[in-house]
C-alpha cells in the first residue's frame, strides 16, 4: 500500500467516522418546524422557479454539495464522484479543507480532480480561518475556484489534541475578504452561529455566511472517537442547530447573504431552511452516506428525485419563487418558541 501521511490518514478517518455515525442526531430540529397546509394554492408545478443566488452566481437549484474531503487517494475518488454529481445537476460544490495540499503538494491532485471532472461548474475552495492571503490565493488557483469558504471550527479544534489553541481569527478574516478576488463565504462546520457572531462578521464586511448548524455531522463526536480516551463526550451537544442559527440570523438577513447547512436529510429540510431565510442550502453527510452505501448511480437518482421533489413541495406551498417561501407562516415547537424568547428573536 502506498504510504500516506498523518494528515491524509486523518481525512480518511473523517470520512469513515462521518459515515459510521450517520445520521448523527436522532432529534433533528427541522422536525420542530411545520408549515400550514393550504388546500387551494392556485398554482401549477410548471410555474415553479427553483433558481437562487449563491455567492454571486445564479444557480438552478437551491442547494449545493458542501465541503467534505480531499487529501488522500481514497478521498480523491470520493471527490471525483461528488464532482460528477455536481456537474450532472449543476450544483455548486466545495472541496474539503485544502490546507493538507498546501503542506503536502503531492495531495493537490485529490482536490484538482474536482475541477477536472467539472470544468465549467461552480467550485468553492476551502481553508481554515488562520489561512494567509497567499495560501488562500494558492487554494483558489488550485481549483480555479469561483469562491472561497473559510471554515470556523472552534469546538473541533478544542477536542483535537493536535488542534489550534489560539483563536484570533477576525482580523485575518477581514484581511482575506479585502485581498481576495472571489467571494469569501465564512462557514461553520456543524456548530451553528449566533447573532453576535453574525454581527462580528458583518462589521468586518463579510457578505456571505454558511451557518453550518448542529443536527447532522458532528465534529465533536468524530474527533472524540479519534481520541484514545474519548474525554469530550460531554461536548457532543454543543452549538446551535441549523434552525436555531437561521432564527439567530433573522435580523441580519437583509444585510448578509445567509446559506444554511447541517443535518439536511431530504428536500423538505431544504424547503424549511429556505423558508427560514436561507438563500441556498448545503448538504454533506446525507450525500456522502448515499454514495458510500448505494454508489454513484443511486445517488444520482436520489439527487434527481430531490430536484423534482423541491418543485413539487414549492407547489404544495403555493410558492413560485424561492424567496416566496419566506412568506409562509411557520409553526415552531414549544422548545423552539422557548429558544426564540430567551434569545429575544423577533
Ligand atoms: C466535513 N465538513 C467540512 N467543512 C469544512 O469547511 N472543511 C472541511 O474540510 C470539512 N470536512 C468534512 C469532512 C466530512 C467527512 C464531512 C461529512 C464534513 C463539514 C461540512 O461541510 C458541513 O458543515 C457539516 O458536515 C454539516 O453538514 P451535514 O454533514 O450535516 O450535511
For 188-208, write each residue's pLDDT tens digit.
999 999 999 999 999 999 999
The answer, yes or no, to whether any atom of ligand 1 lies below 6 A from the CB of 72, is no
Beta-strand runs (E) in the chain: 33-35, 52-54, 57-59, 63-65, 93-94, 123-128, 147-152, 184-188, 208-210, 257-261, 280-283, 330-332
Residue with cell 465541503: 67
Residue 54 pLDDT more than 50? yes
Of the listed ranges 20-34, 92-106, 245-259, the one predicted with least confidence: 20-34
213 close to ligand 1 (CB < 6 Angstrom): no
> pLDDT value at position 25?
65
- The confidence score (pLDDT) of residue 229 equals 85
Q: Ligand 1 atom closest to Cα of 14?
A: 15
Between CA 190 and CA 5 the distance in angstroms is: 26
Largest CA distance in the chain: 62
Q: pLDDT above 70 covers what percent of the chain?
A: 99
pLDDT at 2 over 90: no
**Mean pLDDT, the chain, as a whole number?**
97
- Band the pLDDT of 120: cuts 50, 70, 90: very high
Q: What domains appear along the chain, each with residue ranges and CATH number?
A: 6-22+55-305 (3.20.20.70)
Ligand 1 atom closest to 215 (CA) = 30
pLDDT band at 273 (very low <50, low <70, confident <90, very high): very high
Residues 85, 162: Cα–Cα separation, whole Å = 34
Distance 326 CA to ligand 1 centre (A): 26
pLDDT tens column, 319-334: 999 999 999 999 999 9
pLDDT value at position 7?
Answer: 87
Amino acid at each position: 500500500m502506498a504510504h500516506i501521511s498523518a494528515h491524509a490518514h486523518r481525512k480518511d478517518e473523517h470520512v469513515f467516522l462521518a459515515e459510521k455515525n450517520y445520521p448523527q442526531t436522532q432529534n433533528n430540529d427541522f422536525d420542530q418546524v411545520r408549515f400550514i397546509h393550504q388546500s387551494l394554492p392556485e398554482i401549477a408545478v410548471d410555474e415553479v422557479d427553483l433558481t437562487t443566488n449563491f455567492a454571486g452566481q445564479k444557480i438552478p437549484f437551491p442547494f449545493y454539495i458542501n465541503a467534505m474531503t480531499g487529501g488522500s487517494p481514497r478521498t480523491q475518488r470520493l471527490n471525483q464522484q461528488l464532482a460528477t454529481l455536481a456537474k450532472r445537476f449543476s450544483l455548486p460544490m466545495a472541496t474539503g479543507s485544502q490546507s493538507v495540499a498546501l503542506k503536502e503538494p503531492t495531495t493537490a491532485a485529490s482536490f484538482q480532480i474536482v475541477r477536472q471532472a467539472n470544468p465549467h461548474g461552480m467550485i468553492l475552495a476551502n481553508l481554515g480561518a488562520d489561512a494567509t492571503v497567499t495560501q488562500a490565493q494558492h487554494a483558489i488557483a488550485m481549483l480555479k475556484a469561483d469562491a472561497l469558504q473559510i471554515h470556523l471550527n472552534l469546538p473541533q479544534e478544542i477536542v483535537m489534541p493536535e488542534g489550534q489553541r489560539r483563536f484570533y481569527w477576525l482580523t485575518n478574516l477581514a484581511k482575506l475578504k479585502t485581498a481576495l478576488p472571489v467571494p469569501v463565504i465564512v462557514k461553520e462546520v456543524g456548530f451553528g452561529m449566533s447573532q453576535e457572531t453574525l454581527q462580528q462578521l458583518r462589521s468586518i464586511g463579510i457578505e456571505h455566511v454558511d451557518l453550518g448548524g448542529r443536527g447532522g455531522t458532528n465534529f465533536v463526536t468524530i474527533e472524540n472517537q479519534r481520541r484514545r480516551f474519548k474525554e469530550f463526550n460531554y461536548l457532543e451537544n454543543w452549538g446551535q442547530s441549523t434552525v436555531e442559527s437561521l432564527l439567530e440570523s433573522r435580523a441580519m438577513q437583509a444585510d448578509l447573504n445567509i446559506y444554511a447547512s447541517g443535518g439536511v436529510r431530504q428536500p423538505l429540510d431544504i424547503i424549511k431552511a429556505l423558508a427560514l431565510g436561507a438563500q441556498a442550502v448545503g448538504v454533506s453527510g446525507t450525500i456522502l452516506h448515499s454514495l458510500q452505501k448505494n454508489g454513484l448511480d443511486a445517488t444520482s437518482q436520489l439527487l434527481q428525485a430531490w430536484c423534482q421533489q423541491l418543485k413539487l413541495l414549492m407547489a404544495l406551498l403555493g410558492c413560485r419563487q424561492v424567496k416566496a417561501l419566506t412568506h409562509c407562516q411557520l409553526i415552531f415547537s414549544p422548545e423552539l418558541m422557548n429558544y426564540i424568547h430567551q434569545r429575544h428573536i423577533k
